[in-house]
Chains A and B, each alone.
Chain A
Amino acid sequence: MSKPKVASDWMAGCAGCHMSLLDMDERIAKIVELVDLRSTPITDLKHPDESGVDVGILEGGINNTSNEEVAKMMRKRCKILVALGDCAVFGGVPAMRNFFTIEETLRRAYVETESTDAEGKIPDDPELARPTRVRAVHEVVPVDIFVPGCPPDADTIFYVLSELAQGRKPVLKDDKLHWH
């Protein structure tokens, strides 16, 4: 049996969940033995294989049209989709902005911040992704496995990946279940 293919990507997050993944230290070698690690934001290959992967991992919520594309592409190309971390699972810290309108948040970020001079303006290049309300991944595409945590512990990520690599569905409970 060939090794299961795994791809990951990140969206509206802080990269912390991927850092936590690396935090499993030498166990990452074990994971690489068990799986065929394909595209990730921290390796050369950036997009999951068109031919598909077995496991897709998404970090971060979905806060613009570009994120939507990333999520949809991953969903299309993977068999099992994992939402990794509080942002992907709930919306997380970026979702704090949902308490304001998008106009308010853009104005605050690009015009009103104390370090912005009089030239400050909200970027309006049509090439740019359009910001949206911050959504959890499962609000945009169906998710198979939720791994909450801000970030999830390296132990939890190792458990999830090793279970998936061995064809089992990980069940998060007790020590492995944390939302923050």
Chain B
Amino acid sequence: MITLTIDDQKVEVPEGTTVLNAARKAGIHIPTLCDHPHLKPYGGCRLCMVEIEGFRTLQASCTIPATNNMVVRTTSDQIRKARKFVLTLIFSERNHFCPYCQVSGSDCELQNAAYGEGMTHWPLQPNWQPYPVDASHPYFILEHNRCILCRRCIRACSELVGANTLGVEERGAKTFVIADLNVPLGESSCVSCGMCVQVCPTGALIDRRSAYRGQNTTVDHLQTICAGCSVGCGLDILTRDQQLIRIDGNWDAPVNQGVTCKVGRFYPAFDDRERLKTPLVRKNGALQPVSWEEALMTAAQKIKAASGHGLAALASTRLPVESLHLFRQLFLDDLHSEMVTSTEEGSRTAILSRWAEKLGKPFEGKVERMHEAGAFLVMGADLVNEHEVLGFFIRRRFPEPIKLIVVDENENGLGDLAHCALTPQKKTQATLLRGLIAAVAKLGQNQVAFNGQPDEEVLKASSACGVASDLILEAAYQLTNSESPLIVYDPATIDDEIMQLLLDLSQTTGSALLSVKGGANALAAAQLGLDKPFKLNGSQVAYVAIGDEEPKEKFIQQLEKCSSLIVQASYHSRLTAMADVVLPVVNWLEQDGHYINLEGRMQTATQVLKPADSIWTNEAVLTALAEKLDVNLANDWESTLSKRPSPVSIAA
């Protein structure tokens, strides 16, 4: 620890702390623009200048490390003059006219900084050069006129997401934020995660849906969990008068630490599906609005009538654990239906549950490992199109000396970035893994005894799967020569043989394992036994609790064949159109509940928006339906979850 004096106040901070952060610790405000607590110090805007005894000139407090016995002043006439001058130059450079800017009022950090310095006007007027507006992106607009070149967007794009789409061209006043080699954003390599919009201090990056609809002072902030995939990002939801305004990544969420992808940030606001508003029952061939009582009675009758004709039940993995548990109790434990499963169908989790049972203990690691792993082996997982945030977590580590090995029979989105891309011929993944294990032994790095001839095994694997032996050795070298290696895999692409080999490889290299699980509550569904492939098997009645999930075509095709279909859903879809009873339920923003993410973290979703009175929660519908069927449902989901061994340890 070192001690410094800021404005006559003694502050103790760890070595390496910047003067700015030391001041913050002491509760002393220094205005900033380019600085962002989640980005590396940059020193671009020069607004945070301070006086340091012994220094000839003012220093940028955001980049200068505090040293022992340093004496710092944050307010003096010289400093205030410098700040005003910095702001004057920024205002003169482009067109920062407040009256017609969407962040004017409370959201603009530039305006707030000017107010903070008591600026009543601009000493230098702008030169009125119009700058282009890039409106080519579907979700946000890049308004160069409002840009102050702080590069927060560029730093977020690389430091937080690893996309490296944004950059600058030219120098000095001609500097310009560009995408790729200066192409329109909409045609660039942008992954649409929107982190740039989240960190922009001015109105230069505008979210299309939230612009002009409310500011920090007029919106409510509520935190919940994304139901988009099994990563379970924490989100900060901005609402106003029960309207969704915008979604940001929650900086305080342990899983994603502020980062999220387009699925969490933009999809909900751009969801144009039509909402179901009242219960519907099919009468004379057409769906008619009815009371809840009538709809539930009709549904109960159809379910009762199913005895003997078979009843199939399907629930979305976007539903909270509470709902999935009630669903399981009603249809599996009480009605004893043969087919009770989830929309994930155990496609990823079934094999994991099987191995958890076999091993009798969790065998996978935590997402945190992604932030420290020295090497990644990504096998079969498409982290570019699904579970995107995991892909960001790997890509953003690239400035560090990490190694990425990709093993995929198909083209993998991370393949181009990989230091070692292994593309085995179809159905030879197991052989390749055997080769890798042998290669580790050949390098003498195996942490588990190896029986056999490593040289021969590597060559055998090489010729069998069509991957050069040098490449296999290289991958083995990278994996074993790095701290805390991590294997990220997609269980949907493997069989028991490969699972065994992955476990062997992880043991012999000291790697942790982490797999994607699919839907937000796929793991919870697995723990509750809702993990069978969905087959109608001649059932005449089907109950589908699809929630706010968009029904997949393969389910619709199967369900067309049953004579009675009851759908519990938030939105109109082809599925609800062919249903006999439709029960309108909340969407993910309107519910409380629990979600278990891919690493077993039990997270709490919180109601952000109030649903219409005619719309019920999934739990309320299932409970009311159970009453009509004379079934009592218990609320012991937590103990039920832990009855089955899990591939990850489940805890809050």
Asked if B99 contacts A172 (CB within 8 A), the reply is no
Query: Is residue B105 contacting chain A, with contact meaning CB distance below 8 A?
Result: yes
Query: Is residue B399 contacting chain A, with contact meaning CB distance below 8 A?
Result: no
Instruction: Give the distance to chain B from A97, nearest Cβ to Cβ, in Å.
Output: 10
Option from A83, A96, A135 in Cβ contact (under 8 Å) with B121: A83
Interface residues of B in 110-145 (CB under 8 A from A): 111, 114-115, 118, 120-122, 125, 128, 130
Asked if B97 contacts A95 (CB within 8 A), the reply is yes
Interface string of B2-40 (1 = CB under 8 A from A): 000000000000000000000000000000000000000
Known: A179-B104, A180-B98, A180-B99. A136 touches B121 (CB 8 A): yes
Rounded to whole angstroms, the CA-CA distance of A86 and B97 in the bound complex is 9
Query: Is residue A148 contacting chain B, with contact meaning CB distance below 8 A?
Result: yes
Query: Is residue A173 contacting chain B, with contact meaning CB distance below 8 A?
Result: yes
Asked if B125 contacts A91 (CB within 8 A), the reply is yes
Query: Is residue A17 contacting chain B, with contact meaning CB distance below 8 A?
Result: no
Q: Per DSSP, are chain A's interface residues mostly helix, strand or loop, or mixed?
A: mixed
Query: Is residue B100 contacting chain A, with contact meaning CB distance below 8 A?
Result: yes
Option from B101, B111, B122, B130 in Cβ contact (under 8 Å) with A90: B122
Instruction: Give the distance to chain B from A152, nearest Cβ to Cβ, in Å.
Output: 10
Asked if A172 contacts B125 (CB within 8 A), the reply is no
**A170 closest partner in B (C-beta):** B120
Residues of A within 8 A of B95 (CB): 99
Asked if A96 contacts B100 (CB within 8 A), the reply is yes
Asked if A93 contacts B99 (CB within 8 A), the reply is yes
Option from A99, A145, A146, A147 in Cβ contact (under 8 Å) with B128: A99
Asked if B111 contacts A179 (CB within 8 A), the reply is yes
Residues of A within 8 A of B97 (CB): 90-92, 95-96
Asked if A179 contacts B125 (CB within 8 A), the reply is no
Q: Using C-beta atoms within 8 Å of the partner chain, give the interface range for chain A.
A: 20 to 34
Asked if A86 contacts B99 (CB within 8 A), the reply is yes
Query: Is residue A81 contacting chain B, with contact meaning CB distance below 8 A?
Result: no
Rounded to whole angstroms, the CA-CA distance of A118 and B118 in the bound complex is 51
Query: Is residue A76 contacting chain B, with contact meaning CB distance below 8 A?
Result: no
Instruction: Give the distance to chain A from B131, nearest Cβ to Cβ, in Å.
Output: 9
Instruction: Give the distance to chain A from B566, nearest Cβ to Cβ, in Å.
Output: 54
Residues of B within 8 A of A147 (CB): 120
Query: Is residue A98 contacting chain B, with contact meaning CB distance below 8 A?
Result: yes
Asked if B130 contacts A99 (CB within 8 A), the reply is yes
Query: Is residue A55 contacting chain B, with contact meaning CB distance below 8 A?
Result: no
Interface residues of A in 108-128 (CB under 8 A from B): none
Residues of A within 8 A of B115 (CB): 173-174, 177-179
Interface residues of B in 530-545 (CB under 8 A from A): none
Asked if B120 contacts A177 (CB within 8 A), the reply is yes
Residues of B within 8 A of A135 (CB): 125
Instruction: Give the distance to chain A from B157, nearest Cβ to Cβ, in Å.
Output: 29
Known: A86-B98, A90-B97, A98-B128. A148 touches B104 (CB 8 A): no
Question: Can you list 26 A-B contacts with CB-CB less than 8 angstroms, sorted by A residue number?
Answer: A86-B98, A86-B99, A89-B120, A90-B97, A91-B97, A92-B99, A95-B128, A96-B100, A98-B128, A99-B95, A99-B130, A135-B125, A138-B121, A139-B125, A143-B121, A146-B121, A147-B120, A148-B120, A150-B98, A171-B118, A172-B118, A173-B115, A177-B118, A179-B114, A180-B98, A180-B105
